[in-house]
Amino acid sequence: MKHPFYYLILVLIMVLIPKSTMAYDFKEGGLCYNFNEDGKSVTMTYEHLILFAYDAPAPKEKGYIGNVSIPETVKHNGKTYKVTAIDRGTFMGNSELKKVVIPKSVKTIGKEAFMNCYSLKEVILPPDLTEMSDYMFTDCGFETIVIPAKVKSIGESVFGNSSLKSIVIPNSVKKIGKSAFSGCRWMKTVTMGNSVESIGEAAFSICSDLKNIKLPASLKEIGPKAFYECGSIEDVVIPASVNTIGAGAFNNCHKLKSLKVEKGNKKYDSRDNCNAIIETATGTLLAGCDGSAIPSSVTAIGTEAFAGCYGLKDVNIPSSVTQIGNLAFFYCKNLKELKIPNSVERIGERAFCGCDSLEYVEICDSVKYIGYGAFLHDDHIKIVLLGSGVKAIDSWAFKGLDALEALVSRIKDVSKVKMGKEVFDEIDKSKCGLTIPNRTSDIYRSTPQWNEFKRIIMQKDMINNPPSGCIKKR
């Protein structure tokens, strides 16, 4: 849906535009028209622009309410004109529109033409239509619609938040735009034509009932969050033709159990039957699911790779991994066990934020940077162990750890650690013990944020010389 400010801006534009430029050229049969430049055809338009269906009076013109059949030709002053287009916003916000039949003479339909027509249950589109314009049917009430066989592109949010239950995308379509079907919560099936090359950002996001999706062999690009929160999808196969996959393309697909790349793909792979998508050249795991295993050749966990994997209870990160990306395990709310190997150097922003079941976090000596909100509000964590190699901890990294009982630090000189704001905010520092290396008390007690802990405990041999270089679990 559009940002609320969009409507405010639109109202201001309409107020500022001179009245003469908004007027239609003539009216016939209850419908309004403007002459086209060729002098032989006209564009159907509105008489009064309706912005909000829920607070606007029902239009009185008989041509705009109930069942509307737009004529192929219209007579005016003894001359016949062909109706070739429908203007932008012509029916927008019309709460009384039930059905529309658009003649074959119409070649173009403007943006937002039927936006917010909540009661619109049926639309017959013209066969020669080649483009579905942005926001054309956003928030409409129909459950099915036939996209003409000549349409080449489906624009931004064309069917966003509509009541669609199924859709067949014809073979002519090459591009599916940003948020094209976003919020179609009741859509169960999508049949995708064999010419689709690009699926835009969030194109099918929040299609909660969508269970199966077969991606065509023609597909080259999957945009960021393309299938975000498609909570019923169970398996996905990435075609060999795909060369771009955006971040979070399959985030919050809670029932996703199988995620594979076809053999022959030159950009991505699912090596070792890992049930995940890996960027071949860099060894970065880009997307995983509840059933994924991280191969020993993976060098990084990518941005949002496992975000929203509710069924993930434990994860084995191999010692080949050096980077854990932003939001990598965001809101993996059932993740109970986390072992970060002594190879990881960087933990990204909010990497483990929302992991509500974690109780114990062990950060090895190799980690140099802990990102903003890395463990934000993981309110079941009882013990955090920090390795000696930490050079920077960003703001809110450990904020809101309500249950924290012990913070064990191997850092010898915390005065040299670059600290963000409120790193340990909302931790009960009168109860949580801070265990530090021997003979470092003065440094900890004089360094901001660290000196807020009331119970500082010194320990000579806090690591018991573990072979991995990590702190042993007690």
According to DSSP, the β-strands at 235-238 and 212-213 are: unpaired
Give pTM, 2 decimals: 0.87
Burial group, residue 34, by CB count within 10 angstroms (0-12, 13-18, 19+): middle
Q: How far is CA 62 from CA 83, 354, 429, in A?
A: 18, 54, 71
Q: State residue 59's pLDDT score.
A: 55
Question: According to DSSP H, which parts of 202-327 are helical?
Answer: none
Q: How far apart are CA 143 and CA 163, in angstroms?
A: 5
Q: How far apart are CA 447 and CA 450, in angstroms?
A: 6
Q: State residue 60's pLDDT score.
A: 56
List, for the chain, all residue ranges whose pLDDT scores fall below the cut of 70: 1-22, 50-62, 460-474
Q: State residue 71's pLDDT score.
A: 97
Q: How far apart are CA 73 and CA 82, in angstroms?
A: 4
pLDDT in tens, 189-237: 999 999 999 999 999 999 999 998 999 999 999 999 999 999 999 999 9
Instruction: Retrieve residue 103's tokens.
Output: 């003649």
Q: State residue 13's pLDDT score.
A: 44
According to DSSP, the β-strands at 79-86 and 73-76 are: antiparallel
Q: State residue 58's pLDDT score.
A: 53
Q: How far apart are CA 237 and CA 246, in angstroms?
A: 16
Instruction: Retrieve residue 39's tokens.
Output: 């002098």
Which residues neighbour 23 within 8 Å (Cβ) at sequence distance 6 or greater? none
In this structure, are residues 319 and 342 in contact, taking their beta carbons and an 8 Å threshold? yes
The CATH homologous superfamily for domain 376-474 is Ribonuclease Inhibitor (3.80.10.10)
| Tally of CB atoms within 10 A around 114 | 26
Q: How far apart are CA 68 and CA 257, in angstroms?
A: 46
Q: State residue 474's pLDDT score.
A: 36
Average pLDDT of the chain is 91
Q: State residue 314's pLDDT score.
A: 86
Q: State residue 54's pLDDT score.
A: 53
Q: Can you give the residue ranges of every domain in the chain? A: 376-474
Q: How far apart are CA 117 and CA 111, in angstroms?
A: 14
The H-or-E segment that residue 419 falls in is strand 418-419
The H-or-E segment that residue 285 falls in is strand 284-287
Single-letter amino acid, residue 125: L
